[in-house]
Structure 1
């Protein structure tokens, strides 16, 4: 593939700075051998080309204008080895305008599984902040602490670089049927510092997201608390939901209280018949689904899926129609105790059709009255 990007930026009241960037790239995946190769060559062909980050740095720091990349080359290679292992190589080279500095970063790694455990080895060559090159070697081993799907996972990581060695031990997991509660705890020790501890816990509910973290090292302690959510006031009432993006969907499904919206986040229709779906993609089709599982038998959704294509920043109301009728399952036989004939017509005492006999002689009756007679017409 190939593409050209044009930029135009006005810096500190000066004349507009314009430029172009040309990119060439190649991607290839060979399924038979499990080989994936990616090559990309970027050349910022003009001096005035600025990325969004370049322009932001230049507004805050005049020196940021001189650290713009002129050429960038990248390579990625992954090779599958058998059914459990793979090896990968990634690297890049960057040259800058107004600077003789060059940046070369490379990483070589191997990862595999051993039973229910996984491990990896990697070597990374990178540039430090003072311009010196360094190489870091890392070994990582992880194993679940139990056989249940919600069992926590323990991880050990050993690293060594020019700055010394580092040892890190951690455990992480999730609780609940939908894994709404996640937690992690990490302890590390390196040659540069005596030791540090980091803990984190987060809860993602249908109406709020909560998180808390605590870190402690030799010279500092920090505690972080966070909460995120949204409140929508509309003609149908007020609804609480997760933190919304630029646009969101207000799902209306009166009569289907408790129905699950979508199949990922734990979002359900509230008691007023509405729910907030926090994220949608603008200018493209978004499928909005209602999951009827768990609803009472007397509730029937006339449709369980709709598509909307909102504009950017819009709030869209998507209405689903639900009916609530008394539903009975009648296991009936004839006077001789034999099953009723399959597909026989069922009418009420006024001759109005009510359904038909199903498999095993069971009659499913929707909209049943509190009293009256049913007649099976074979």
Structure 2
């Protein structure tokens, strides 16, 4: 008898698979070969698994199974790949725009409607409810990525994570007097603060329009200073590699007497 096996998983551990083959030599000459496989996948709709096997004597077997749960709430119907009952302690997470963010490093994630649910909580203990944004799809900023709760047994918690879904951009600016814009200077569009200056004249802003005017404000020797920069993004703007953050360069911020 000869057997060979191979198994593996995806980088995010959501997909697992295995393949096995066998060959048996009989004295009667009726050798038997077999092959089988198994795969499982944790999706936001539940956990799915499938297996199949067959051999040369025409024996075949197939199986398909699924496991998971859902919560009906005021915002809709939210599925989970966790299996839970009405007596389990669970948390319903709301994080608008944070599709793909994983909850408590489990297989459960925030769906396209901004909700997610998991049962990975312990009753009567301090639990950290956190969001892992590494696999998050959208261009969104989370005001916080974790919160603390001490639930009762069988409780359904609600964790609301505030987000900012405004479009983000990095703008490379220089002053009209050739001086460097101060680090941490505030960037405004109209009366609304939308970001800050970083190093080397790079401003990180969120909620920016296609075109408009930015105002950079700071203090120099105790006196308020400001400059104004007109901007316009092209029809197909550049973005940071691997992200949706826009990039705009060569923007001149002209020193203003108006603060």
Q: TM-score, normalised by structure 1?
A: 0.46
2:194 equivalent to 1:359:
no
Distance of 2:142 and 2:104 partners within structure 1 = 15
Among candidates 253, 256, 262, match of residue 98 of structure 2: 256
The equivalent of 1:245 in structure 2 is 84
Distance of 2:177 and 2:12 partners within structure 1 = 50
Q: Aligned runs of 1:133-148 on 2, under 5 Å?
A: none
**Structure 1, residues 236-283: CA drift from partner, whole Å, max 9, x if none?**
111122142342221112343443323342x33223221122433333
The equivalent of 1:329 in structure 2 is 170
Name the SS for the 1:306 alignment partner.
strand
Name the SS for the 1:312 alignment partner.
coil
2:121 equivalent to 1:275:
no
Distance of 1:171 and 1:183 partners within structure 2 = 8
Distance of 1:245 and 1:190 partners within structure 2 = 47
2:131 equivalent to 1:290:
yes
* Contact 1:343 1:358 survives alignment (8 Å): yes
| Structure 2 CA distance for partners of 1:261 and 1:353, relative to 1, 3 Å | closer
Q: Which 4+ stretches in 1 moved above 6 angstroms?
A: none
**Structure 1, residues 49-89: CA drift from partner, whole Å, max 9, x if none?**
xxxxxxxxxxxxxxxxxxxxxxxxxxxxxxxxxxxxxxxxx
Distance of 1:283 and 1:210 partners within structure 2 = 31
**Structure 1, residues 110-162: CA drift from partner, whole Å, max 9, x if none?**
xxxxxxxxxxxxxxxxxxxxxxxxxxxxxxxxxxxxxxxxxxxxxxxxxxxxx
**Structure 1, residues 262-305: CA drift from partner, whole Å, max 9, x if none?**
3342x3322322112243333333322112344655x3322211
Query: How many residue pairs were aligned?
Result: 207
Among candidates 166, 170, 180, match of residue 5 of structure 2: 170
Distance of 2:196 and 2:41 partners within structure 1 = 48
Name the SS for the 2:91 alignment partner.
strand
Distance of 2:100 and 2:41 partners within structure 1 = 20
Gaps of 5+ in 1: 1-165
The equivalent of 1:211 in structure 2 is 49
Q: Which has the higher contact order (CA 8 A, sep 6+)?
A: 2
Q: Aligned runs of 1:1-378 on 2, under 5 Å?
A: 167-174=2-9, 176-188=10-22, 189=24, 195=32, 197-216=35-54, 221-246=60-85, 247=88, 248-265=90-107, 267-293=108-134, 294=136, 296-297=138-139, 299-344=140-185, 356-368=196-208, 371-377=212-218, 378=220
| Structure 2 CA distance for partners of 1:235 and 1:285, relative to 1, 3 Å | same
Name the SS for the 1:173 alignment partner.
strand
Name the SS for the 2:174 alignment partner.
coil
RMSD over aligned CA atoms reads: 3.4
Q: TM-score, normalised by structure 2?
A: 0.64
